[in-house]
Amino acid sequence: MIQDGLWFISIIVIVAALLTVFFRMIKQPPIIAYLLSGVLVGPLFFDLVGTSYSNIIQTFAHIGVVFLLFIVGLSLDLRLLKEVGRVSGLAGIIEIILTSSVAFLIGIGLGFSNTVALYLGVALAFSSTVVVVKTLSDKKELDTLHGRIALGILIVEDFIAALVLMAVPLLNESGGMGLLVKELGMAISLIILIFLFSSIVLSKLLNYLARSQETLFLFGIAWVLVIALIFNSLGFSLEIGALIAGMSLASSRYNLEIGNKIKPLRDFFMVLFFVFFGSQLTEMVSLDLIKNAIAFSVFIVIGKPIIVMTVLRFFGYKKKTNFLAGASLAQVSEFSLILSMVGYNLGYLTKEMLSLVVLIAIITIALSSYSIYHSSSIFSRISKILGNFEKEDKRKKEKISNYDVVVFGYHRVGYKILEKIKKMKLSFVVIDYNPKTIISLDKQGIKNIFGDASDKEFLEEIKLHDAKLIVSTVSNHESNIIIREVLKENKSKATFIVTTDQPRNAMELYEKGVDYVLIPHHLGGEHAAEMIENFGLIRSKYKEAGKKHLRELEKGKNKSKYI
């Protein structure tokens, strides 16, 4: 029996590995490969998941969910709610309400009962943190304005999803509102006790455990399993227990260390979790199931971004920022699958509804992966029809001919460049597409223009080519190419300095005629080499330089916040 089980797990891992390699070649996230692996080993094809094996893989799937939610909890420090900002906070809440409401109405229109439609509406309201973070990270766009907004919305979604996971099992209890309040009170009391124990006892214990990496690793596993089992024994779900276990350690200085050590374990079990979900397609996919999946998927891929764009419009962001942020969130989440599994176990959803959610996950994650990778080129093709997703800028645009220097982007290194320009007594103006940055610049009395560097019509309107020196601290390659094209078309003699993170992009920019390209990590290496040459082995000089650097960082942090 043990040998048969090993063969079964081995086959699953081999199939998943082969599909993952293939999907990596076509730039698809591995989640789809895992889900399709489950479909292949399930009843629809090779039917390797028998009754006994189904129990094994379901157990492994639960372990994967426990580790996933534990690591999600480790990143959900309550202090993050203050950091994500008003925009991401409100946008996330409004987006969830509108998305779940529309999905509910779609479910009603497709003939589902109110309970099923409501459950599907809530489950489909969340976007995938794993897919979005991985894809934006690959594109080097996590630190862009739209990337930070999308990430902020995802953080808010994760918090709300945690609350939903806690509430759903309680709603299944019979005994009326009194029992529900009692159960909720018990859950809150337990959570408070866990957080108190963590802050008073674990904070000191972890200082001792951290001396041994193996001990810290084993403690992390033991902590999440104990808390998950305690919640399960009291009638709550393993999932919410795992999430609370992670959140109780989120403010610890060792949260990253614990998370990084458990991630490989999580990744292995999560493969089996998604395979298990794929194997839940137990019957041939009917035409009605495909129609329903397509209806929900169209809404998630097209309707959900429109909701996000509409919400962000009222905060004053440009249409490109709104589009890129919305396109990043056009898929369902791992939480959608987890909530569906909880709903199935509690009797809210049928096997067919579970299959429906799996199909929606495959379709939306696949389509959104391509849409995120090619979001800029898609925007350039449809930007003319997106005018309604951008507030009209009623401020009078100044002409660049009034200034010697134009700086695109105030965050990052922009504020540092301005300090030198001020000392040189040159006239300058800052161009930025972040409304909060513009407000901050107005308060500081710094001349600015609200606009998007990638908008060719905008660059022509302000007569960018009349400037003498143009500095772009925006690392977006396409934006810098567009600025260069405008300057070339108007035969500008301005000196053009740009920023990029990629050496290959720097080579292309030089070929296009850019005068100088800033590559931050190259400059950092050169600066470090100069310090070593000047300071040698004298530690006090490095300490003095470090203190000066810290003061500059604190000053820059206060000036360059934009979410």
Rounded Cα–Cα distance for residues 493 and 450 (Å)? 24
Rounded Cα–Cα distance for residues 43 and 51 (Å)? 11
| Contact criterion met (CB below 8 Å) for 169 and 346 | yes
pTM as predicted: 0.70
What mean pLDDT is predicted for residues 192-219? 86
Strand, coil or helix: what is 431?
strand
Query: 106 or 252: which carries more pLDDT confidence?
Result: 106
Tokens of 71: 């690591």
Q: Work out the pLDDT band at 50, boundaries 50, 70, 90.
A: low
Rounded Cα–Cα distance for residues 130 and 133 (Å)? 6
pLDDT of residue 98: 93
| Contact criterion met (CB below 8 Å) for 279 and 39 | yes
DSSP per position, 451-475: --TT-HHHHHHTTGGG-SEEEE---
Query: 71 or 78: which carries more pLDDT confidence?
Result: 71
Tokens of 65: 């969910």
Looking at the predicted structure, is the pLDDT value of residue 319 above 80? yes
Rounded Cα–Cα distance for residues 557 and 322 (Å)? 25
Q: Work out the pLDDT band at 273, boundaries 50, 70, 90.
A: confident
> DSSP code of 27?
T
Tokens of 367: 């389509």
User: 495 pairs with which residues across the strands?
Assistant: 469
Q: Work out the pLDDT band at 283, boundaries 50, 70, 90.
A: low
pLDDT of residue 301: 93
pLDDT of residue 100: 93
pLDDT of residue 329: 92
Tokens of 376: 């800029």
pLDDT of residue 563: 41
Tokens of 259: 């998370």
What mean pLDDT is predicted for residues 212-220? 87
What mean pLDDT is predicted for residues 4-11? 72
Rounded Cα–Cα distance for residues 390 and 444 (Å)? 26
Mean pLDDT for the chain overall: 81
Q: Which domains does the chain have, with CATH numbers?
A: 2-385 (1.20.1530.20), 400-560 (3.40.50.720)
Please report how the helices 176-197 and 213-233 are oriented relative to each other, as an axis angle in degrees rounded to 10: 160
| Contact criterion met (CB below 8 Å) for 477 and 498 | no
Per-residue pLDDT reduced to its tens digit, 129-160: 777 876 777 677 766 778 878 878 887 887 78
C-alpha 291 chain-centroid distance: 29
> Angle at Cα 89 formed by Cα 83 and Cα 93, nearest 5°?
155
Residue type at 498? V
Looking at the predicted structure, is the pLDDT value of residue 296 above 90? yes
Rounded Cα–Cα distance for residues 500 and 476 (Å)? 7
Looking at the predicted structure, is the pLDDT value of residue 414 above 70? no
